[in-house]
Amino acid sequence: MPITGHWRVRPAQKGMGPCPAYERGTMRDSFHQDLEKVSEQLVEMTRLAKSAISRATTALLGADLQMAESVIADDEQIDALRRDLDEHSVDLLARQQPVATDLRMVVTAMRMGSDLERMGDLARHVAEVARLRYPDCAIHPVMRSTVLQMGQVAERIVAKAGSVIAARDIETALALEHDDDEMDRLHRDIFTMLTDGTWEYGTEAAVDATLVGRYYERYADHAVLVARGLVYLVTGEFSAHEQ
């Protein structure tokens, strides 16, 4: 997150103790360096979440047990980053006691980290469905195209979330709502196939499709929450949806 604002630094006079303005300037610089680290952690979490959902989709549609196991095991990386981010943020709150905009930055970053961690969990859930049905494919061929599209939308939306954080790009953040609309449409398509009276492929396949559809839909929802967090961080205002 770019450093905003500057403190005027005046040299300490001879015979005087440390200059308060100098101390404030040093603390301010340190605080923003810490915020840069938090921002980098969030971007790395988006990268890992994107890799996870991409591989989970491959495992799901290809009945790839090894790929599914890798997604499940690698989820700990996202969890560890979230724990480190929270600990770092709490330490910032304790040491710096930020107020106003600075406080908003730290608290919002913690919320964004929580959403990204949950996205990793949802990718893991998709992989767990693939593992559960191995060596069979959990997704029936009639739904394959829809689920593939959901995976592609999920990858696109988390990639945009990473760009939003790195560049503080409000325009892209707001545009994520449209990607989420596409995911919602695909989610509805799954329910339509299951409830229109023509489904004849068994309860197990229907349950798997219902779960997987929900996982992808929630994944996109959390990416949108990350983007809304960025909008709030920059503007200090909640989006119309959150209001």
Is there a contact between 56 and 34 (Cβ–Cβ < 8 Å)? Answer: no
- Please check the confidence at residue 238 and state whether its pLDDT lies above 70: no
Is there a contact between 51 and 30 (Cβ–Cβ < 8 Å)? Answer: no
pLDDT for the residue 215 = 98
pLDDT for the residue 11 = 42
Rounded to whole angstroms, the Cα distance separating 158 from 122 reads 13
pLDDT for the residue 119 = 98
- Please check the confidence at residue 54 and state whether its pLDDT lies above 50: yes
- Is pLDDT larger for residue 132 or for residue 91? 132
Residue identified by tokens 């545009």 is: 175
For the chain, domain boundaries: 21-235
Residue identified by tokens 């200059």 is: 19
pTM for this predicted structure: 0.85
- Please check the confidence at residue 8 and state whether its pLDDT lies above 50: no
Q: What confidence tens digit (pLDDT) does each residue in 134-166 have?
A: 999 999 999 999 999 999 999 999 999 999 999
Please, which pLDDT band fits residue 243 given cuts at 50, 70 and 90? Answer: very low
User: Averaged over 46-64, what is the pLDDT?
Assistant: 98
- Please check the confidence at residue 12 and state whether its pLDDT lies above 50: no
- CATH code of the domain made up of 21-235: 1.20.58.220
Q: What confidence tens digit (pLDDT) does each residue in 158-216 have?
A: 999 999 999 989 999 999 999 999 999 999 999 999 999 899 999 999 999 999 999 99
Is there a contact between 39 and 109 (Cβ–Cβ < 8 Å)? Answer: yes
Instruction: Please choose, from the candidates 226, 72, 117, 115, the residue with its C-alpha nearest in 3D space to the C-alpha of residue 164.
Output: 226
